[in-house]
Amino acid sequence: MQHAVVAEDVRRTYGDTVALGGVDLTVETGEVFGLIGPNGAGKTTLIRALTGTTDADGRVEVLGASPRSVDRERIGLLPQEFSPPERLTARELLAYYGGLYEEARPVGAVLADVGLGDDADVWYENLSGGQKRRACVATALVNDPDLLVLDEPTTGIDPAGRRALWSLVERLADGGTTVLLTTHYMEEAEALADRVGLLAGGELVATGTPAELVAGYGGEPRLEVAVEGDADSATAALESAGYRAVETRGGLAVEGIAAREVGDVAAALDDAGVGYGALAWTQPDLEDVYLELTGTGVGSGGEPVDREDGPGDGRAEPRVPTGGERR
Amino acid sequence: MSRTGRIRAEATAAARSFLRRRTAVFFTFFFPVLLVLIFGVVVQSGGTGGGLFALPPAYYVPGYLAVVVLFTPLSRVGSEVARHREGARFEKLATTPLSRAEWLLAQTLVNAGVIGLAALLIFVLVVVATGARVVLGAGTLLVVPYVLLGVVLFCGLGAVLGRVADSQDGVIAASNGVALPLLFLSETFVQPDLLPGWLPVWASPLTYFSRGVRAATYGPADGSPGLNLAVLAALAVGFFLAGALAVPRTD
């Protein structure tokens, strides 16, 4: 299979700050590749290096050419902080960007793809935040690119709109478009990406399918127990029954437990006379991988990630210290 | 899409964006009109004494036209570069077939349209409001290429300022800082014999605009209209190329 993107030892510094410390990356043709990582991990810098919009050291090849000599008809880019002319309607905006290419898709079809058909004649500045982002995504689709590069495409989009965009990306991928996207939403990477690369501190610390990453770094399934009463008694009861239990903020968690064993745990608690409000069994997911590898997980020694802050703050270049080590 | 198509798309978007900013449009036309009214009507020219505005009103036609030919491209293109940079628009455009020279040419075409209209308005206003006796003839039409070349030149310089300044505010300050000295030290409103001899007025590109327009509308001045036009054309090409190279392609 031909590589759509090849990056070897890509480095970029800003003064003394290392934004990319030697990244090697390959994206196959037709693949959806997701880049995840904390703010400042270097995702946007890597996107810029791959699209030739920053001067980076190392070797980069996009669709068989260097980023600045590649056929630009074949590339579609959504920059992270993209803000197009505000007093153009969504329709005019797409006509504008479509007019820059030899062959562009019909504007109406692209607007329909991103769910802006009904607001096509509204000035960009009067669209809602989510609609604006969808219009921006549309500008990357208007030339029907072979390689679509989306830097945080769903930032600010509501859940329904986000899922609509996921469907769109899936359709494009099914049609053979190679997609390289960055995201802070782990479920987005898990849902869309064939492979995921986790960038931390300017280095690609792990690459693989979501399942491979979860299997390798996500840890074990666990059962969360909302204990009513003395957590120490509950822990002792479970440990005497042969389970590994650790205290958590909501009670305790039994680690390394299969779903079929949940009833046995409940029985052990009942036998010990420990009351509990709820049991919740969870499998590890990409978020656990993220927290583990970026050193931001509970007990990892790193700084906790603010899980509420959502996607990028637009300051992608500075390298942030991470306390975790790849295991 | 051909090169023409790309430039048309960019120019159309730029024109729409500009024309929908009513304040910008209003002051683009109001500022030079205000100067004509202040200097041409209130202060009045053509007095018998010495000093500024002592010559007939038609002498100052190049100065009034220079206001729009100089200020508007500098501030507009400079601001547009800053606006594009802040909105990651150049990052986006760098991955499209539109080249930097095409982008600047599209911006220049929009400026040429706007400034051409403003220049015509000013020309008529100067004649009507100040009673300027402009030489009319086939040579007067040379004002058109002078205005166009001036626009090209200062659009290029505006792109350079936009590259150097780090914000829209910075662009406005820088363009004012460049434009004000040029406006008054380029044989526009201040005649050469009032300027110190050591001042290298030849170094200002606006000087060739002033001399040429004056030769075409007022009477023979320093150099022929054709010679000044040739110098201005050469400078316009140079500044345009510098501006195209200055348009950012990377972060």
Q: What is the pLDDT of residues A93-129, one digit of tens each?
A: 999 999 999 999 999 999 999 999 999 999 999 999 9
Question: A271-283 pLDDT, tens per residue?
Answer: 888 888 889 999 9
What amino acid occupies position B115? Answer: I
B98 and A79: CB-CB below 8 Å?
no
Q: Of A66, A49, A40, which Cα lies nearest the Cα of A149?
A: A49
The answer to whether the Cβ–Cβ distance between B12 and A80 falls below 8 Å is: no
Give the model's pLDDT for residue B193: 82
Yes or no, beta carbons of B9 and A96 under 8 Å apart: yes
Residue at token pair 């909105």: B87
What residue type is A57 in one-letter code? Answer: D
Q: Name which of A70, A71, A77, A100 to mutate to probe chain B: the one with the most chain B Cβ atoms within 10 A of its Cβ.
A: A100
Sheet holding A147-151, edge to edge: A75-78, A147-151, A178-182, A32-36, A195-200, A203-208
Q: Which residues contact B21 (CB under 8 A, 6 or more apart)?
A: A87
d(CA B245, CA B247): 6
| Nearest-CA distance A52 → chain B (Å) | 7
Average pLDDT, chain A: 87
Residue B91: its pLDDT value, please?
95
- Residues, chain B: 251
For testing contact with chain A, the best of B95, B98, B102, B105 (most A CBs within 10 A): B95
3-state SS class at B221: strand
- Token reading at A115: 């769910």
**Residue A197 pLDDT level (bands cut at 50, 70, 90):** very high
Q: Does A124 touch chain B (CB under 8 A)?
A: no
- pLDDT (tens digit, 9 = 90+) per residue, B157-191? 999 999 999 788 999 999 999 999 999 899 888 88
* Phi–psi pair at A135, nearest 5 degrees: -65, -40
Measured between alpha carbons, how far is B51 from A315 in angstroms, rounded to an integer?
56
Q: What is the mean pLDDT of residues A131-147?
A: 96
CA gap A202, A49 in Å, rounded: 12
All domains of chain A in start order, with CATH: 3-216 (3.40.50.300), 220-282 (3.30.70.260)
Set of chain A residues whose Cβ sits within 8 Å of the Cβ of B20: 87, 123
Q: CB distance B86–A83 less than 8 Å?
A: yes
Say yes or no: A271 contacts chain B, CB-CB below 8 A.
no
Residue A223, classified by CB atoms within 10 Å of its CB into exposed (0-12), middle (13-18) or buried (19+), is buried
Which H, E and C letters describe chain A, residue by residue?
CCEEEEEEEEEEEECCEEEEEEEEEEEECCCEEEEECCCCCCHHHHHHHHHCCCCCEEEEEECCECCCCCCHHHEEEECCCCCCCCCCEHHHHHHHHHCCCCCCCCHHHHHHHCCCHHHCCCEHHHCCHHHHHHHHHHHHHCCCCCEEEEECCCCCCCHHHHHHHHHHHHHHHHCCCEEEEECCCHHHHHHHCCEEEEEECCEEEEEECHHHHHHHHCCCCEEEEEEECCHHHHHHHHHHCCCEEEEECCEEEEECCCHHHHHHHHHHHHHCCCEEEEEEEECCCHHHHHHHHCCCCCCCCCCCCCCCCCCCCCCCCCCCCCCCCCC
Spatial contact of A195 and A209, defined as CB atoms under 8 Å apart: yes
Report how far residue A46's alpha carbon sits from residue A32's, in angstroms, rounded to the nearest whole number: 16
- Residue B105, SS3 per DSSP: helix
Query: In a 3-state reduction of DSSP, which class is residue B125?
Result: helix
Of A75-79, A290-294, B119-123, B228-232, which range is least confident? A290-294
Q: Residue A81: its chain B contacts at CB < 8 A?
A: 87-88
Lowest mean pLDDT among A24-33, A222-231, B110-119: A222-231
Contact B97 A76 (CB under 8 A): no
Determine the Cα–Cα distance for residues A180 and A169; give it in Å rounded to an integer. Answer: 10
Is pLDDT above 70 for A301?
no
pTM for this prediction: 0.86
* CA–CA gap between residue A137 and residue A111 (Å, rounded): 10
Query: Per-residue pLDDT for A311 more than 90?
Result: no
Coil, helix or strand at residue B223: strand
Distance (Å, rounded) from C-alpha B201 to C-alpha B205?
Answer: 9
A84, B71, B156, B209 from B160: Cα distances, Å? 22, 14, 6, 20
Length of chain A: 327
The closest of A49, A51, A41, A2 to A18, measured between CA atoms, is A41
**With an 8 Å Cβ cutoff, is A77 touching chain B?**
yes
Q: Are the beta carbons of B91 and A55 separated by less than 8 Å?
A: no
Order of strands, sheet of A222-228, starting from the edge strand that comes earlier in the sequence: A244-248, A251-255, A222-228, A275-282
| Under 8 Å between Cβ of A34 and A182 | yes
For residue A234, the distance in angstroms to the closest alpha carbon of chain B comes to: 56
Name the most confidently modeled range: A249-263, A292-306, B212-226: A249-263
- Each of the 251 residues of chain B gets a pLDDT tens digit; together they read 589 999 999 999 999 999 999 998 888 888 888 888 887 777 765 555 556 677 888 899 999 999 999 999 999 999 999 999 999 999 999 999 999 999 999 999 999 999 999 999 999 998 898 888 888 887 889 999 999 999 999 999 999 999 999 788 999 999 999 999 999 899 888 888 888 888 888 999 999 999 999 988 987 655 577 889 999 999 999 999 999 999 988 76
pLDDT for A321 beyond 90: no
